[in-house]
Amino acid sequence: MPIIVQKFGGSSVADSQKILAAARKAIRAQQRGNQVVVVVSAMGDNTDLLIDLAQQITDQPPAREMDMLLSTGEQVSVALMAMAIHSLGHKAISLTGAQIGIVTDSTHGKARIQSISTERMTKALDEGNIVIAAGFQGIDESLDITTLGRGGSDTTAVALAAALHADACEIYTDVDGVYTTDPRVVPEARQLRQISYDEMLELATAGAGVMHNRSIEFAKKFSVPVHVRSSFSDKPGTMIVREPEAVGIPVCGAAMIKNEARVTVLGVPDRPGAAITIFSKVSGKSIPMDMIAQNVAADGRTDISFSVPRDELPHTIRSMEEAVKELGAEGHDCDDEVSKISIVGLGMATQPGVAERMFRSLAEKGINIQMITTSEIKISVLVAREHAQEALRTVHAEFNLGKEPEAVAGKPAAAPVPPQTNDVVARMSKMEQLIIEDISLDESQARVTVNSVPDIPGLAAQVFDDVAQSGVVVDMIVQNVGRGGRTNISFTMPQKDLEKSIRVIREQADILGCPPPGSSPRVAKLSVFGVGMKSHTSVASRLFSALAAEGVNVELISTTEVRVNVIVDGAHGEKGRAALLKEFADAMG
Ligand code: ADP
Ligand code: ASP
Ligand code: MG
């Protein structure tokens, strides 16, 4: 019999009427001939209320006790949901994470699933029950309750769908589906019919709170088709699958993380291994580093900047004080009034000028860009928080995201291909472990760096406008935070376009009063591509340690949810790739 997993978020079970409505949906699915597992979140804002209660007692609640407390929210909902189904004349059984056998590691507050046992659920389903599973929680080896991180019920749902080889995973929420951006912030946002795993993963990590990013890692890893839809209507929602909605359009969505903080370590000696000291200090505390920008060094020293969630700033600063001492760096500096705006799209990899359009649209609104990082399918900029909403609206309008794309439609959300059973079983033992799919080397690029450009709105737009007009397709762009009103911008392009790029940039440098551009005619780009690249906080530090041990110096860095890209000296490409293959051998999928 087909199995369906339905997940109801907090707002979908916020009161008794809503719980009864959700119960009816589950019963209908069962009556259509499915076995049904329902995953529920805590009612309404209950998780927030519990956090608030804890804060009233102490500002440093022990992590174990916090998980004990927060897991009660979901325990209330599962019991009420099971009662609702009974009251409507059907069989149901509620189960906590521990009762299901969702085993996690012991990282309280952001635990990772290690294994799920399906025995009890399967038995209950075979007896005709609708199984009601508590989202967001698990149990570790010592039988202590753990939670998966805010929004983690999505991850429970997709993980159960994978473990049960379910035919569908439906995420019921308070919006009609996944939109081009948060419809509460930008009312012109459009609902997508379909989105690819890679795009959704980047959007979720870039702030699209509609899905927990780790749930998409699961969906991708186990090929679970996810249907995000409204609890309050029967309209079709958005399918998250392998293929994008349309091919040929550069951008499918935009997102914002409002509360970010930027940290810069100033004057880091530019030698192999310097970056590791910084990354390992941060990853050692399990702090997720987000944008990382290291620009090409001037005078043997470089500045390394990264962003972290704002509430992780105090921990991060403590680590940076240690790093500055160890490295003999000049100091550190931070700004906790910043937000990150990102655009995402599979099509941008093959189209010139996408970054330039983003930068120009912001410049026209007088919004200064403090930091830039790019990857194949995402461009992120850091802006002052006071401009964040306007910036999101601006880029959304620039790429006409509110309108149906005219480009060729991608393949329709085809009937899901059920994953090969053997494959699922083999990978299940790893559940949320890091999986590296590929480590690639691209030796076809060159680099140009413009130094000491004035740090004012419109500058990046101007630089990349001229470059795009000359027909050069830029790959990586890194702009670090400015110092003394000046900043550096580096980018890479095909080697054949180096001369042209230098010419364009030299003209600009003359106009702007900057020194002549620096360049390297042959660089090597190493890309580590996989699942869990960022949520496994140690990836960056492992990567830098491995390269440093071989004496390979990193010139530029950019990271995304699915990829870490580094630019190294052109002569060190093969050596670097070999070092990375060795370092990540255990994680190669
Ligand atoms: P639930 O409680 O059902 O898990 P969430 O609040 O976690 O619901 O997620 C739904 C919310 O996500 C929406 O109300 C919306 O404001 C927000 N959101 C942010 N980005 C997007 C997006 N791109 N598409 C749809 N909703 C989004
Ligand atoms: N109740 C938890 C939270 O609010 C988990 C979830 O809703 O997904 O974060
Ligand atoms: Mg949610």
User: Which atom in ligand 1 lies closest to the alpha carbon of residue 212?
Assistant: 7
Ligand nearest to the CA of 6: 1
User: Which atom in ligand 2 lies closest to the alpha carbon of residue 48?
Assistant: 4
Dist. CA 364–CA 452, nearest whole Å: 22
Of all protein residues, whose CA lies closest to atom 9 belonging to ligand 2? 150
Tell me, in angstroms, the distance from the centre of ligand 1 to residue 19's CA.
Answer: 19
User: Which atom in ligand 1 lies closest to the alpha carbon of residue 179?
Assistant: 24
C-alpha dist (Å) from residue 538 to 150, 478, 567? 21, 22, 19
**pLDDT under 70: residue ranges of the chain:** 295-298, 407-430, 534-535, 560-561, 589
Task: Report the pocket of ligand 2 as residue ranges, CB < 6 Å.
Answer: 9-10, 41-42, 47, 73, 135-136, 150-154
Q: 324-361, pLDDT tens digit by residue?
A: 999 899 999 999 999 999 999 998 877 778 888 999 99
Ligand nearest to the CA of 18: 1
User: Which atom in ligand 1 lies closest to the alpha carbon of residue 10?
Assistant: 2
Ligand nearest to the CA of 149: 2
Which residues pair with residue 205 across a beta bridge?
none
- From 150, 156, 170, 175, the mutation candidate for ligand 1 (largest count of ligand atoms within 8 A of CB) is 175
Of all protein residues, whose CA lies closest to atom 5 belonging to ligand 2? 151
Give me the long-range contacts of 500-506 (CB less than 8 A, separation at least 24): 500/470, 500/471, 500/472, 501/446, 501/448, 501/467, 501/470, 501/472, 502/448, 503/470, 504/466, 504/467, 504/470, 504/472, 505/448, 505/450, 505/463, 505/467
Asked if 544 contacts 531 with a C-beta cutoff of 8 angstroms, the reply is: no
Tell me, in angstroms, the distance from the centre of ligand 1 to residue 209's CA.
Answer: 5
- From 6, 7, 210, 231, the mutation candidate for ligand 1 (largest count of ligand atoms within 8 A of CB) is 210
C-alpha dist (Å) from residue 269 to 119, 321, 331? 56, 16, 12
Identify residues whose C-beta is under 5 A from ligand 3, the ion.
9, 151
Q: Kindly list the domain boundaries of the chain, sorted by start residue.
A: 3-249, 254-400+436-587
Dist. CA 503–CA 193, nearest whole Å: 44
- From 40, 41, 155, 212, the mutation candidate for ligand 2 (largest count of ligand atoms within 8 A of CB) is 41
The model's pTM is: 0.87
Instruction: State residue 414's pLDDT score.
Output: 47
Dist. CA 354–CA 479, nearest whole Å: 16
Ligand nearest to the CA of 342: 1
Ligand nearest to the CA of 135: 2
Instruction: State residue 416's pLDDT score.
Output: 46
Dist. CA 557–CA 20, nearest whole Å: 51
- From 153, 174, 213, the mutation candidate for ligand 2 (largest count of ligand atoms within 8 A of CB) is 153
Tell me, in angstroms, the distance from the centre of ligand 3 to residue 154's CA.
Answer: 7
* Number of neighbouring beta carbons within 10 Å of residue 393: 19
Tell me, in angstroms, the distance from the centre of ligand 1 to residue 182's CA.
Answer: 7
Biggest distance spanned by C-alpha atoms of the chain: 79
Task: Report the pocket of ligand 1 as residue ranges, CB < 6 Å.
Answer: 9-12, 41, 151, 173-175, 178-179, 181-184, 208-210, 253
What is the CATH architecture assignment of 254-400+436-587?
2-Layer Sandwich (3.30)
Instruction: State residue 413's pLDDT score.
Output: 46
User: Which atom in ligand 1 lies closest to the alpha carbon of residue 178?
Assistant: 24
Asked if 478 contacts 373 with a C-beta cutoff of 8 angstroms, the reply is: yes
- Give how far the C-alpha of residue 308 lies from the chain's centroid of Cα atoms, to the nearest Å: 13
Question: Class for domain 3-249, per CATH?
Answer: alpha beta
3-249 and 254-400+436-587 share one CATH topology? no
Tell me, in angstroms, the distance from the centre of ligand 1 to residue 175's CA.
Answer: 7
* Number of neighbouring beta carbons within 10 Å of residue 578: 14
Of all protein residues, whose CA lies closest to atom 5 belonging to ligand 1? 210
Q: Which two tokens stand for residue 334?
A: 């931070």
Q: 320-334, pLDDT tens digit by residue?
A: 999 999 989 999 999
- From 66, 150, 218, the mutation candidate for ligand 2 (largest count of ligand atoms within 8 A of CB) is 150
Q: Which two tokens stand for residue 274?
A: 């310097």
C-alpha dist (Å) from residue 49 to 43, 55, 64, 72, 503? 10, 10, 18, 12, 59
Instruction: State residue 450's pLDDT score.
Output: 86
Tell me, in angstroms, the distance from the centre of ligand 2 to residue 148's CA.
Answer: 9
Ligand nearest to the CA of 178: 1
User: Which atom in ligand 2 lies closest to the alpha carbon of residue 148?
Assistant: 5
